[in-house]
Amino acid sequence: MNPSTALARVLVDELARCGLTEAVIAPGSRSTPLALALVAHPDIRAHVRIDERSASFLALGLARTSRRAVALVCTSGTAAANFHPAVLEADQSGVPLLVLTADRPPELRGTGANQTVDQIELYGSAVRLFTEVGVPEPVTGMVSYWRSLACRAWAAAGPDRPGPVHLNLALREPLVPDPGDSGAWCEPVDGRPGGRPWIDRPARPAEPAPLELPPVERGVIVCGDGDYDAVPYLALSAATGWPLLAEPTSNARRADAVSSYRQLLAAPGFAAGHAPDLVVSVGRPGLSRQMSAYLRRAARHIVVGDHRAFADPVRTATDVVPAVAPPPGADPDTAWARSWRDAEAAARGALDALLDGEEALSEPRLARDLAAHLPLGSLLFAGSSMPIRDLDAAMSARCGARIIGNRGVSGIDGTVSTAVGAALAHQRDGGGGGYALIGDLALLHDQNGLVIGPGEPRPDLAIVVVNNDGGGIFSGLEQAGHPDFERLFGTPHGVTVERVAAMADLPYTRLEWATDLPKTLLGEGVRLIEVCTDRAASAVLRRRVQEAVTAAVDG
């Protein structure tokens, strides 16, 4: 067995012992030993993508949904650089990734050798661990080094503080197994008996003692984006009567959560009369300017999270604690609680009445109705820019569906690929149908995510694309009045989703009427559904929704 093959086989075997079950491979020559070892392992499902950026976001979606580290493999050179956006997202959103980049050996670096760049610490501070693995040599001690390194990398990727890990593997030729390879090496390559990992990890420490919250009436619970258990915060709201303001990707918008908080906090009269004495926040809040402004008004802001890395986007945190508990003897039926319930009912009524006034699908109504029609056990991937914001503004509280999105860096990079990966992991773990709500620019930005080779695993995924011929989010911002707005921000492209579907040989449907949404969502495999809207009209409708809610709650 040649050294490159030995390293790859031992490393992959040890990662599988640690728990690796998914790997994404971008084709290349230098990474051949890793690719061959991954596809040969019986406990690992391999996915191949021709585009490194698409591959990396596919791995991100798999890892985000399964909550398990996924291996991501590429050859040397710009291939590794194309992983960078996904690595940044994994870092900011706490997604475990094992990035395995093949590299030229040291004697070829800095010489002008083909496809050679400096890959040392390529991703900077975005990774939890970087290791230059070193050129494999046929000497005693290599197997224990490789196996212990695999365990260390697996542990560094999570679960204590999940995130990406980068191993840079310098591989010399030959890169394929020797003819008649017997598997012999200069020392035994076997791992621990019984399939155990080389290094056993101790059990996670017991849950920390929660902070008992002060007995205030005017409390508010804010659930931002993140992968955490929402039940304690729903229970806290039920015990205290404090309103729960939940972003869609918190998966806490259930039961009596306030679904119209975005409009309520933008209603001048309501906002003026509802300054909080205490805010308890968890996850990453920051989807709306209204929420950011509201956090600044809190007399005390308790953040629940890891003291080493917690979200405090407007610098208002006064305490950081690992867990919270309701104050003893809390009364859930106070004047404060009743005022929020009454406002939610009035706002919800005004919002729904306005959206239901037209049978043609608007962007906010599409978001509201799609979230409402998701079957139990479904997964919805929400694209950045307007799709996630329309969900935040229009979605009613509901249970039984999981909503995720790339909210770490909030880019539109790799949107399609992340959704495909998320659906694959969701369905491998026994979940139901996969759905995505994205914009036209996000689709065009990641058309390669639709290119899935024959024989590759494919999910059931309905991708609903809002096509407003450009960047809809800018129509509601200050840039909208600039004379060069259309060219610089609107960026019309004139591409229909039907043409994109034809490129990828996928089923396509154009959806116009709200009553047709449930039957249009039916189907199998990856499919594209296009909803054509007008950017300017959508911006006007969102303003009308806010005016209607303001009138309903401020009188």
DSSP SS3 for 306: strand
Please tell me if the domain spanning 3-174 has the same topology as the one spanning 359-554: yes
Q: Please compute the mean of the pLDDT values over residues 279-286 and round it to a whole number.
A: 95
Give the whole-angstrom CA distance, residue 258 versus residue 267: 15
| pLDDT, tens digit (0-9, with 9 covering 90-100), for 62-121 | 999 999 999 999 999 999 999 999 999 999 999 999 999 999 999 888 888 888 899 999
- Checking if the pLDDT of 527 tops 90, the result is yes
418-458 residue pLDDT tens: 999 999 999 999 999 999 999 999 999 999 999 999 999 99
Contacts of 75 (CB under 8 A, 6+ apart): 26, 27, 28, 29, 30, 31, 102, 115
User: pLDDT band at residue 483, thresholds of 50, 70 and 90?
Assistant: confident
Predicted local confidence at residue 291, as pLDDT: 94
**Is residue 5 over pLDDT 90?**
yes
How high is the pLDDT of residue 24? 98
The CA angle 357-361-363, to the nearest 5 degrees, is 105
Residues 6+ apart with CB under 8 A from 381: 61, 403, 404, 405, 415, 418, 419, 422, 423, 434, 435, 436, 437, 438
Quick count: other Cβ atoms within 10 Å of Cβ 513? 11
Q: Is the pTM of this model over 0.85?
A: yes
Q: Where are the domains of the chain?
A: 3-174, 211-346, 359-554
pLDDT category of residue 464 using cuts at 50, 70 and 90: very high
Domain 359-554 fold: Rossmann fold (3.40.50)
Question: Is 539 a residue whose pLDDT tops 80?
Answer: yes
> Looking at domain 3-174, which CATH architecture does it have?
3-Layer(aba) Sandwich (3.40)
Percent of the residues in the chain that have a pLDDT greater than 90, as a whole number: 87
Chain centre to alpha carbon of residue 385:
14
Residue pair 91/164 in contact (Cβ under 8 Å)? The answer is: yes
Residue-level pLDDT at 205: 67
Q: Cβ-count burial of 152 within 10 angstroms (0-12 exposed, 13-18 middle, 19+ buried)?
A: middle
With cut-offs at 50, 70 and 90, classify the pLDDT of residue 32: very high
Mean pLDDT for the stretch of residues 267-291: 95
Residue 95 sits at the vertex; the CA angle it makes with 446 and 91, to the nearest 5 degrees, is 85
Average pLDDT, the chain: 94
pLDDT at residue 479 greater than cutoff 80: no
Start-to-end CA distance of the chain, whole Å, equals 79
- By the 8 A CB rule, do 90 and 63 touch? yes
pLDDT of 345 over the 80 cut:
yes
Number of H helices, E strands in the chain: 19, 19
Structure tokens at 131: 């290791």
Question: How far is 138 from 178, CA to CA, in rounded Å?
Answer: 14
pLDDT value, residue 476: 67
Question: What average pLDDT does range 120-125 have in this prediction?
Answer: 96
Q: Give yes or no for residue 414 having a pLDDT over 90.
A: yes
pLDDT beyond 70 at 2: yes
Q: Measure the CA–CA gap between 315 and 263, rounded to whole angstroms.
A: 23
Indicate whether 281 pLDDT > 90: yes
The architecture of the domain spanning 211-346 is 3-Layer(aba) Sandwich (3.40)
